[in-house]
Amino acid sequence: MKFIVSSTYLLKQLQVLGGVINNSNTLPILDNFLFELKDSKLTVSASDLETTMSSVVDVESDTEGSIALPARLLLDTLKTFPEQPLTFVVEDNHTVEISSNHGKYALAYADANEFPKAVSLEDPSTTTIAGDILATAISKTIFAAGNDDLRPVMSGVYFQFSTEGLIFVATDAHKLVKYAREDVKANQTAQFIMPKKPLNLLKGILAGSDEPVTIEYNDNNAKFTFENSVLVCRLIDGKYPNYEAVIPKENPNKLVIDRTQFLNSVRRVSIFSNKTTHQIRLKIAGAELNISAEDIDYSNKAEERLTCDYQGDDMQIGFNSRFLTEMLTNLNADDVQLEMSLPNRAGILTPTDGLDEGEKVTMLVMPVMLNN
């Protein structure tokens, strides 16, 4: 087995695949990339058993075969080369020799048959979506997903596909984000929960890409196919909570404010908040929003006044500043609207501009009890 490939081109492909590999694997074979060569196409795969990703790399070769190469060693070596052709030759003594312009390097390889096979999906449903839209949907929601191992369903993003549009939801019970697209539709109704790790990989690869992504899914697995790559992952098993039930329908108090100004104010004031609760207080009366925080233990406090556009009754409501900051950072609107009903009911944050046609973002943040 022998092939010639560009060093930077190979490195670029392997760095993406390297994101799949865990730092500590139970099976030693998972510390390797699987190389499969056939008809001058090299398919490289990486897996952590839950997620398997493979890319097709163009190489010069008239041989075929398959081996597993140590990922870390290979990546560290490739990073040091300037752009040049590298020749890989599999030797008889169970090593692969890499020849560059200046030298030769030998790596021991493992048996390709030990590498876990990617799951093949039986009878899947299919939806096609533009790469950039999928990347946006992931980045708008993934930050709100939980980290609680006891509630695995909340540690992923809920995909809800229907003939009317696509909906992506993430929540950790304190905050919730619902991202909807009416301009992209599925041919049948389906829902599944995607784990965070493969989503983060997809987000990084697909940002700014116009390539169509084909999503195939059944009850247990999902498969994403785009350009020259395929990602297959196991879905999170379980029933997603009824998120529609927690979104308050009647919210008579509406506040519209400049997003950047509001975000900077919350960030500054929150420095003075209690370090465990991160509580800030919003006091709204007329066209004035008063943001304050206090850490009684250290006698630290801060207060800022902002002008806003407000319709509703005068009210005071407390929020965790970290959740508010995360949400405001994730919106790219000039102005945002915060809708509220009562101080003990969730507030709904939505952008008033900056959305594409058919795009809708709803963010919900639970209040914290104010101790007056």
According to the 3-state scheme, what is the secondary structure of 219-275?
Answer: CCEEEEEECCEEEEEECECCCCCCHHHHCCCCCCEEEEEEHHHHHHHHHHHHCCCCC
Give pLDDT, residue 131: 95
b/e 295-313 (16+ beta carbons within 10 angstroms → b): beeeeeebebebebebeee
The number of C-alpha atoms within 13 Å of 210 and in the hemisphere containing its C-beta is 0
Interval 51-64 mean pLDDT: 96
Average pLDDT in the 152-160 region? 96
Contacts with 179 (C-beta within 8 Å, 6 or more apart), sequence order: 136, 137, 140, 141, 167, 168, 169, 359, 360, 361, 362
> What token pair was written down for 358?
């058919």
- Region 339-363: mean pLDDT is 94
Q: Minimal CA–CA distance to 140: which of 369, 346, 359?
A: 359
Contact predicate 242/158, CB 8 Å: no
Please name the amino acid found at residue 63. T
125-244 CATH: 3.10.150.10
Give me 24's structure tokens. Answer: 């500590």
Residue 354 has pLDDT above 90, yes or no: no
Domain limits, the chain: 2-114, 125-244, 247-368
Give the pLDDT score at 348.
97
Closest CA to 21 of 61, 59, 71: 71
Among 234, 246, 222, 237, smallest CA distance to 172 is for 246
263 neighbors 325 (Cβ within 8 angstroms): yes
Nearest to 51 by CA among 81, 19, 15: 19
Q: Which residue in the block uniquely carries the two structure tokens 């389906």?
A: 190
List CB contacts of 218: < 8 A, sequence separation 6 or more. Answer: 121, 122, 123, 124, 125
Token pair in block for residue 51: 């997620």
Whether pLDDT at 71 is above 90: yes
223 has pLDDT over 90: yes
Fold classification of 2-114 (topology level): DNA Polymerase III; Chain A, domain 2 (3.10.150)
DSSP 169: E
Measuring CA to CA, which residue among 255, 245, 244, 243 is closest to residue 347? 255
Q: What is the pLDDT of residue 109?
A: 97
Tens-digit pLDDT profile for residues 178-194 = 999 999 998 889 999 99
The answer, yes or no, to whether residue 361 has pLDDT greater than 70, is: yes
pLDDT at 364: 97
Domain 125-244 and domain 247-368, same fold? Reply is yes
pLDDT value for 149: 86
What percent of the chain is modeled with pLDDT above 90? 94
Please name every residue paired with 363 in a beta bridge, in sequence order, or none if there are none.
177, 349
pTM, rounded to two decimals: 0.92
**CATH node for 247-368:** 3.10.150.10
- Mean pLDDT score, 83-104: 96
Give the per-residue pLDDT at 371.
74
Distance CA 270, CA 291 (A): 9
Enter the DSSP assignment of 64. Answer: -
| Cross-strand partners of 127 | 215
pLDDT of residue 187: 87
The per-residue pLDDT for range 28-38, each reduced to its tens digit, is 999 999 999 99
Distance CA 148, CA 347 (A): 23
Arithmetic mean of pLDDT, 73-100? 96
Inter-residue contact 48 to 21 (CB < 8 Å): yes
* Cβ 231 vs Cβ 198: under 8 Å: yes
pLDDT at 372 over 70: no
For helices 7-18 and 196-206, the axis angle rounded to 10 degrees is 150
